[in-house]
Amino acid sequence: MTSKSLNTLFFNTLHQYLKTSTEAQRTVWIKQIVDEGMDVQELADRFLFGERTTALRFSWLLSGIGIYSPSTLFNILPYLFAKKAQTRIKDFEYQFVKYWSIAGIPKENIGEATNLLFAWLTSSKTNVSTKTHAMQNLYNLSKEYPDLKNELKSSIENQLDKTSISFRTRATKILAELKKPPL
């Protein structure tokens, strides 16, 4: 059997089972995708922009790919970010806060990502998990872009009395780090 027919077999398997897949199944597929160097962009084109439940499961698969191989996810993030509006997943854009936490933010997306992260951190409509990931991503960015520190401090301080205990705990640690003088 050639590599092409293996890919066809794999695509057919995903097409048939991804919509109702379990985490255990996705874990096996993630390893196969990464270990065999499959084209994740091609997989995204086939599964992320179609039927909503299948697309949602594929978005979870992407997170797993990132956990297993951050560079594999990182390499496709600019493409996914450019095509984010084409998926049928409600609020798919929020997935990027997790993807960026796992794999980092590609240089070409830093400007727009920074704006989104601040918007998510400060919005009363954003859930606590997204706020926490947004705050962590912004903190990570502030290490490379120190000009973000003052806005980040202010944004975090503004959220302290509006969020959960877990957010406040993490926020307090990040604020302490932001207040330390540079080395």
pLDDT tier for residue 2 given thresholds of 50, 70 and 90: very low
Query: CA of 36: how far to CAs of 102, 115, 161, in Å?
Result: 21, 36, 48
Residue 183: predicted pLDDT: 67
DSSP per-residue string spanning 27-66: HHHHHHHHHTT--HHHHHHHHTSSSHHHHHHHHHHHHHHH
pTM for this entry = 0.88
pLDDT tier for residue 1 given thresholds of 50, 70 and 90: very low
pLDDT tier for residue 181 given thresholds of 50, 70 and 90: confident
CA 137 to chain centre: 10
Using the 8-state DSSP alphabet, how is residue 126 labeled?
Answer: S
